[in-house]
């Protein structure tokens, strides 16, 4: 569920803001020119002071930010920061889990009303109850942006570091690493809340539930004391990531559990399913074929479905078009595998004989859930991006719509909800009402900065599912490792087949997120039967055990 590496969290001074007091951003169209200019200055490094040669920059996108409706009291001791000791308190919670480099997850419990001494790490917005860190706590709290201190990298307090940043500026720019900022912290709280509302319409379990934000007070030895820093507080339901922990391990599992003879039988059957078309392989990857799809067709489709989860075909990206590009319906593939004589090959998952078709259905489900998750983000009114924009600092394109921004839910939730993945990381999410075109002079409100990027997010996520970023044959724009393919060629082709299945089901998930019947006769998602879900959960459990040593 969480990382195996432990970290220490200590309290420092800060101002606390509850999620219930964070409200929607002011529409960009209502801003005055000087207000837009102020936002623009956040996205571009300011010239250094007269006696300095370098400047610090923060993570920022060119859009308006949520508003906070309440003023907090002064600084109080309670803001969490990773470190082996706090100069302000002897309290130390040494049982948190690492989450990436700059975050952590800590177990908490409700604080007894008579307890005046223990640390209040947050207050629940729905009932005002205080939570305190506890080894036996059952509330798991994600603290995002709480310093770079790790057990193996014991940085001096406060564990905030600089990284040199490429920039078009004529002076040296450095980015602060290890924390969030008020603009991105309040964005994460607001956007997560809005997107969770859309997920709930599909009866989907969220990855995170917003609780609040701490804005750090002055920190001893802060390398950039003039820049406000923050830490995001959310209840969380897992930290194992789809790409790093599950998808990579399922491919390893397929190689380990499918025998060479079974692989040969499966590929022979698959050739029948594809008919005259070439089966998927390293030289016939799904992403290369899907690249021919008319990407621009996503823009009017997604824009027309803001606020709606209705199922409709995407004109130009229908499943008839996918078939023309060499894809084959999952049900056709399964039918040929089921018809293998004398019987369908099986794999042994922890002593349970499991048909290979269950593995195909697992990949189908994962693809469907990815498409459904992205559609949920885009359809959240007034039209959200997961977080895609061109950085004004170095013109780099950032895209948060990728496979590692989906967590694998706990096995008990998977079993109860029949849901495996849930989306997170919305600190760079913004809507069509808030986006600003900073290329214009002067900058102006421009909703097309969101709507035009719907297509970028759809195809970037599709590229992740296709395996193009781990194949070694494509420019790496994601922080994922190239991994070796099985030595057996039939097993290699099974891996690419499973990736193809995910792409097919991904477009079903995006165009038909409810999974029900539609007037446009979109193919229904491939659903595991009730009898297959225990086997699927066992495969997920086995796969996650192979990646337990990897960090999120």
**pLDDT tens sequence across 513-552:** 999 877 776 788 999 999 999 999 999 999 999 998 888 8
Give the pLDDT confidence of 234-272 residue by residue, as tens digits. 999 999 999 999 999 999 999 999 999 999 999 999 999
How many angstroms separate the CA atoms of 254 and 256, rounded? Answer: 5
What is the average pLDDT across 287-296? 92
Query: Which is more confidently placed, 350 or 339?
Result: 339
Question: What percent of the chain is modeled with pLDDT above 70?
Answer: 93
pLDDT digit string (tens) for 349-369?
888 899 999 999 999 999 999
- Report how far residue 409's alpha carbon sits from residue 413's, in angstroms, rounded to the nearest whole number: 6
Alpha-carbon span 4 to 330, nearest angstrom: 36
Residue 481 near residue 308, CB atoms below 8 Å? no
Model pLDDT, residue 439: 80
DSSP bridge pairs for 139: 108
Q: What is the pLDDT of residue 477?
A: 45
Least confident of 204-208, 232-236, 462-466, 477-481: 477-481
Work out the average pLDDT over 200-219.
98
Residue 47: predicted pLDDT? 64
Residue with tokens 């193919």: 523
Distance of alpha carbon 325 from alpha carbon 286, whole angstroms = 9
Of 2-6, 70-74, 198-202, which gets the smallest average pLDDT?
A: 70-74
Domain residue ranges of the chain, discontinuous segments joined by +:
6-236, 242-382+455-546
pLDDT averaged over every residue in the chain: 91
Comparing CA positions, the residue from 207, 183, 177, 181 lying closest to residue 195 is 207
pLDDT value of residue 476? 47
DSSP, res 432: T
Residue percentage of the chain with pLDDT more than 90: 74
pLDDT of residue 545: 94
Beta bridge partners of 175: 57, 163
For residue 397, the model assigns a pLDDT of 80
User: pLDDT: is 312 or 73 the higher one?
Assistant: 312
Q: Inform me whether the pLDDT recorded for 475 exceeds 50.
A: no
Q: Pairing between strand 130-133 and 122-123?
A: antiparallel
Say if CB 98 and CB 6 are below 8 A apart. yes
- pLDDT classification of 502: cutoffs 50, 70, 90: very high
- DSSP letter at 243? I
pTM value? 0.95
pLDDT digits (tens, 9 = 90+) for 383-407: 999 999 876 555 678 899 999 999 9
């Amino acid at each position: 569920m969480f990382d195996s590496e432990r970290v220490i969290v200590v309290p420092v001074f800060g101002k606390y803001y509850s999620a219930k007091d964070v409200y929607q951003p002011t529409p960009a169209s209502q801003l005055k020119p000087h207000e837009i200019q102020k936002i623009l200055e956040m996205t571009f490094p300011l010239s250094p002071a007269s006696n300095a040669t370098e400047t610090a920059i923060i993570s920022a996108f060119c859009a308006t930010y949520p508003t906070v409706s309440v003023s907090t009291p002064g600084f109080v001791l309670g803001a969490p920061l990773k470190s082996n000791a706090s100069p302000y308190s002897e309290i130390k919670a040494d049982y948190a889990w690492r989450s990436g480099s700059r975050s952590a997850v800590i177990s908490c419990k409700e604080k007894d009303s008579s307890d005046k001494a223990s640390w209040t790490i947050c207050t629940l917005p729905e009932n005002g109850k205080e939570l305190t860190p506890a080894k036996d706590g059952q509330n798991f709290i994600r603290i995002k942006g709480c310093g770079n201190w790790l057990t193996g990298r014991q940085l001096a307090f406060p564990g905030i570091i600089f990284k040199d940043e490429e920039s078009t500026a004529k002076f040296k720019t450095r980015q602060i690493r290890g924390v969030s900022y008020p603009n991105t912290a309040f964005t994460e709280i607001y956007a997560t809340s809005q997107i969770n509302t859309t997920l709930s319409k599909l009866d989907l379990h969220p990855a995170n539930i917003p609780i609040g934000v701490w804005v750090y007070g002055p920190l001893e030895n802060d390398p950039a004391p003039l820049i406000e820093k923050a830490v995001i507080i959310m209840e969380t339901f897992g930290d194992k990531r789809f790409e790093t922990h599950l998808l990579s391990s399922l491919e390893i599992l397929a190689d380990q559990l499918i025998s060479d003879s079974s692989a040969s039988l499966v590929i022979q059957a698959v050739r029948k399913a594809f008919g005259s078309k070439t089966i998927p392989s390293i030289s016939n990857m799904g992403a290369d074929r899907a690249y021919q799809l008319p990407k621009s067709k996503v823009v009017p489709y997604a824009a027309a479905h803001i606020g709606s989860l209705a199922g409709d075909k995407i004109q130009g990206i229908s499943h008839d078009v996918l078939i023309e590009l060499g894809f084959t319906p999952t049900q056709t593939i399964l039918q040929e595998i089921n018809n293998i004589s004398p019987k369908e090959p099986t794999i042994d998952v922890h002593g349970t004989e499991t048909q290979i078709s269950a593995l195909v259905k697992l990949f189908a489900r994962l693809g469907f859930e990815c498409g459904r998750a992205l559609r949920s983000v885009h359809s959240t009114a007034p039209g959200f991006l997961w977080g895609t924009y061109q950085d004004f600092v170095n013109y780099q394109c950032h895209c948060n719509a990728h496979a590692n921004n989906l967590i694998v839910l706990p096995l008990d939730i998977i079993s109860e909800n029949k849901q495996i993945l849930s989306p997170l990381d919305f600190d760079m999410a913004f809507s069509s009402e808030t986006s600003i075109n900073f290329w214009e002079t002067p900058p102006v409100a421009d909703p097309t900065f969101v709507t035009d990027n719907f297509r970028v997010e759809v195809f970037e996520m599709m590229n992740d599912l296709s395996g193009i970023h781990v194949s070694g044959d494509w420019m790496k724009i994601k922080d994922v490792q190239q991994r070796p393919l099985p030595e057996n060629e039939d097993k290699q082709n099974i891996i690419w087949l499973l990736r193809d299945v995910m792409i097919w089901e991904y477009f079903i998930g995006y165009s038909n997120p409810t999974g029900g019947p539609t007037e446009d006769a979109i193919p229904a998602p491939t659903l595991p039967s009730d009898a297959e879900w225990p086997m699927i959960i066992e495969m997920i459990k086995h796969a996650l055990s192979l990646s337990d040593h990897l960090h999120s």
